[in-house]
Amino acid sequence: MRFPDTPLVLLHAFPLDRRMWDGVRAGLEEHAELITPDQRGFGGVPLGADEPDLARAADDVIDRLAGRRALVGGCSMGTYVAMAVLRAAPELVAGLVLISGRATADTEAARANRHAMAARVEDEGPGFVADAMLPNLVGAETHERRPDVVATVRALVAEQDGAAIAWAQRAMGARPDSSALLRDTEVPTLVVRGEQDTLIPVGEADALAALMPKAEVVTLAGAGHLPPLEAPEELTGAVARWLE
């Protein structure tokens, strides 16, 4: 194996939890020790009293690694936390797996949208979040042909705590641009993008990969923003090939 005895940490997307990796778990565990933690506030994990900052979510990952080097990655929000781990503890990062992520910080408009959702969740509760986000979380083909996946995503979103949703939105809105960080890293990186991802356009995925000299890009046909749920077999194969 390319990374013998190196664990693979995969961090879930917003606003889901570790169960989003269930479809790839068995396949990836044949190739690496797989660690898929619930991030703070999600999946029943306590949120804590820290101000919204993805650096605190990265601290949780670093504490869990307890000095072990790992391949660190995730999907969407999970990629931002992975970048925060790289920023805080580069010596612990043996490689990156970035699924449906971007290197840049939010635009002012995107940040305003995050804060608006956070405030609405605090005022009304999180009941509206699934309907608001589902159109963009999965691709058109999934919406048309995979009602089971749509139902799974809806259920996962509906079970998350409103306070965690608001915290995570504000934390993502405050994240720094990671372009220089990634440009300076030499660790092997797998960049995965969904062909039908409307949240991370193809050009942004290419720009992310172009920052790093050791990046490989894989495009998953028919998938949107959540390849672990929309194309689990294809994603498993892509990650397994990269690991070997």
CATH code for position 19: 3.40.50.1820
Instruction: Tell me the average pLDDT of the chain.
Output: 96
pLDDT more than 70, % of the chain: 99
Residue 3 lies in a domain: no
Alpha-carbon separation of residue 106 from 172, 176, 177, 221 (angstroms):
8, 8, 8, 26
**Mean pLDDT value across residues 166-191:** 97
pLDDT for 194:
96
Q: Is residue 106 part of a domain?
A: yes
In a domain, 121, yes or no: yes
Residue 192, classed as helix, strand or coil, is strand
Report yes or no on 117 lying in a domain. Answer: yes
Q: Is residue 1 pLDDT above 60, yes or no?
A: no
Length of the chain: 244
Q: Is the pLDDT of residue 3 over 50?
A: yes
DSSP code string of 21-50? GHHHHHHHHTTS-EE-PPPTTSTT----SP
Instruction: Indicate if the pLDDT at residue 178 is higher than 80.
Output: yes
Residue 223 domain flag: yes
Q: Is residue 126 part of a domain?
A: yes
Tell me what pLDDT residue 244 has.
86
pLDDT of residue 5: 83
Whether 12 has a pLDDT exceeding 50, the answer reads: yes
CB atoms within 10 A of CB 90: 12
On the question of pLDDT at 101 being above 90, the answer is yes
pTM of the model: 0.96
pLDDT the model gives residue 2: 62
Work out the average pLDDT over 54-83.
98
Q: Is residue 224 part of a domain?
A: yes
Domain that holds residue 140: 8-243
For residue 214, is pLDDT > 50?
yes
Average pLDDT over residues 42-64: 97
Given the structure tokens 């396949």, which residue do they identify? 27
Task: List CB contacts of 70: < 8 A, sequence separation 6 or more.
Answer: 6, 7, 8, 9, 35, 92, 93, 94
pLDDT tens digits, residue range 197-213?
A: 999 988 888 899 999 98
How many CB atoms within 10 Å of residue 132? 13
CA separation, residue 79 to residues 29, 219, 225 (Å): 20, 16, 12
- Give the pLDDT score at 129: 98
CA distance 105 to 191: 18
Specify the number of domains making up the chain: 1
> Does 115 map to a domain?
yes
Which residue bears the tokens 């995570």?
A: 168
Tokens coding 103: 């290197």
Report the alpha-carbon distance of residue 233 to residue 14 in Å, rounded.
Answer: 21
